[in-house]
Copies of this chain bind each other. A is one copy, B any other.
Amino acid sequence: MTPATSVKPYHHGDLRNALVEAGVELAREGGPAAIVLREAARRVGVSPNAAYRHFDSLPALVTAVAQRALTDLAKAMQTEIRRCRPSGDEQADAWRTARAVGKAYVEFALREQGLFQTAFDRRAHAAASDHIEPGAVSPQDVLTERLEALVAAGLLPAADMAAARMLAWSSVHGLALLLLGPLEHLSRRERKAMVEATLDQVGAGLLPGRT
């Protein structure tokens, strides 16, 4: 049995993950621009250049953090779906869960501003050729799943899927970013109202005649 903290082994053992986690923490504190290679290495207790054994460059680390953020977002959406307990009415349930997904999206953005911005940072998506997690579920997947439920419930014509996807994703994504940026001065109450109103409005656009 090797003592847990002997004196610090020369090899960290799980540096890549540790760096990503440090990066996540930095992103949570100050957004994508706060992800700094040297600081991440410092927090992990390792020399700056050790990171280059696991990431080609800083953007590569940012990309990894962004992917982590994306799956966190997806998880939050799924959790919110699970909190909606079925009422038996398939149509009502389909719409309620779809709405819940949108709400979870915005709430995650507000709760985890730094992570959310990192998830959609330009540099993150730029250095794309990074190895992707196998079982990673993306926010798009969760949304698509909900739209399919709407189709199955007969609320949405299958032919309108693509357009509906764009409207739903665009409006919720835009809403989140506006609340984080130009509308950041709004009170919690006002924000809440905006979110509810916008989600209803999206519903009106998505499902003509049914809300």
Give the residues from 152 to 211 in chain A that come closer than 8 angstroms, CB to CB, to chain B.
Answer: 162-164, 166-167, 169-175, 177-178, 180-182, 184, 194, 197-198, 200-202, 204-206, 208
A-B contact pairs, 17 of them (CB 8 A): A31-B122, A33-B33, A117-B122, A120-B181, A122-B181, A140-B182, A162-B197, A163-B198, A163-B200, A166-B178, A167-B198, A167-B202, A170-B175, A173-B174, A174-B174, A201-B205, A205-B205
A180 to B177, CA, bound (A): 14
Contact residue range for chain A?
A: 35 or more
Per-residue B-contact encoding for A92-129, CB less than 8 Å = 1, 0 else? 00000000000000000000000001001011010000
A163 to B194, CA, bound (A): 7
